[in-house]
């Protein structure tokens, strides 16, 4: 007897997302099944897998897989896509999801966009984590040259579900992120690897960002990177607590609230639905 799994192909500001809903299905679907799911799906940056909620009052436990098979703690664009799927199935507009980064809230706004609570950022060097101690993580001693053009130096680092390093630049186009990104992602400074972003502050309420995403590579959008950039800019006195972060895929609104929680608001776009036969994908 074949096992069929429905999926939704979506994107969040160009971040390619697949949502697989395993709620209500047999327990113990292990890595072999998940690998089969991954092989049978269209291209994605992240696969969001929904499981039955272990915590009362939550809608699902969400596991997040990068295209290289590694597991991520957070994916803001993916959580907006998950929220869209659950909203379509339930008719509700407010949700709670449990992830590796904790319980996150989300809701559909009156304008049809989706706001996601990304939790509280962490800035301690052990929390990020870093391989060596830094008292001030707004600018750590780390740099890298490229074959041509200026070098990168002294990033801000933070953890918003995932480790992030943000390098402040005057011109995003002056850097070859395809060259620098994989080298910095796996730098010994980051024992769990890191998302690497270039950030150009254009006003106190506007930042442009490009990101090399841990486990996925160059991406048109990374929601947790947008959040890490926004809060790091606030810490450095470069931006206000409500800011628009513009990624190659488009803008996201990031707000670092007085309660220390970071909210990200943006769209989720549905591309198509499909059904995966696990016997054929295996």
Active site residues: 75, 222
Query: 81 in the Ramachandran plot: left (φ > 0), alpha (ψ -120 to 50) or beta?
Result: alpha
Q: Could you tell me which residues come within 8 angstroms of residue 111 by beta carbon, excluding any fewer than 6 positions away?
A: none
Q: Could you tell me which residues come within 8 angstroms of residue 30 by beta carbon, excluding any fewer than 6 positions away?
A: none
Distance from the first to the final alpha carbon of the chain: 14
CA torsion through residues 201, 238, 214, 74, sign: negative
- Classified as helix, coil or strand, 255 is strand
According to DSSP, the β-strands at 94-99 and 102-108 are: antiparallel
Q: Could you tell me which residues come within 8 angstroms of residue 67 by beta carbon, excluding any fewer than 6 positions away?
A: 38, 43, 44, 45, 46, 47, 215, 216
According to DSSP, the β-strands at 4-12 and 46-51 are: unpaired
**DSSP notation for 190-205:** -TT--EEEEEEEEETT
User: Under a CB-based contact definition with an 8 Å cutoff, are residues 137 and 125 in contact?
Assistant: yes
């Amino acid at each position: 007897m074949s096992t069929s799994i429905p999926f939704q192909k979506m994107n969040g500001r160009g971040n390619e997302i697949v949502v697989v809903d395993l709620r209500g299905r047999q327990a113990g679907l292990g890595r072999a099944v998940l690998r089969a799911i991954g092989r049978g799906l269209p291209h994605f940056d992240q696969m969001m897998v929904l499981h039955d909620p272990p915590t009362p009052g939550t809608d699902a436990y969400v596991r997040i897989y990068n295209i290289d098979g590694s597991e991520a703690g957070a994916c803001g664009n993916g959580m907006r896509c998950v929220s869209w799927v659950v909203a379509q199935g339930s008719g509700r507009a407010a949700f709670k999801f449990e992830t590796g980064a904790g319980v996150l809230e989300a809701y559909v706004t009156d304008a049809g966009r989706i706001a996601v609570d990304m939790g509280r950022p962490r800035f301690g060097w052990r929390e990020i984590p870093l391989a060596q101690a830094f008292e001030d993580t707004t600018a750590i001693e780390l740099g890298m040259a490229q074959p041509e053009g200026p070098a990168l130096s002294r990033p801000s680092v933070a953890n918003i579900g995932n480790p992030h390093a943000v390098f402040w630049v005057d011109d995003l186009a002056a850097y070859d992120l395809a060259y620098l990104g994989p080298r910095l992602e796996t730098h010994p400074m980051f024992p769990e690897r890191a998302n690497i972003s270039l950030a150009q502050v254009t006003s106190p309420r506007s930042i442009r960002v490009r990101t090399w995403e841990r486990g996925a590579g160059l991406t048109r959008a990374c929601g947790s990177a947008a959040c890490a950039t926004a809060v790091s800019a606030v810490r450095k006195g470069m931006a206000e607590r409500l800011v628009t972060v513009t990624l190659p895929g488009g803008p996201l609104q990031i707000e670092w609230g007085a309660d220390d929680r970071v909210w990200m608001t943006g769209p989720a776009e549905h591309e198509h639905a499909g059904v995966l036969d696990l016997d054929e994908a295996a």
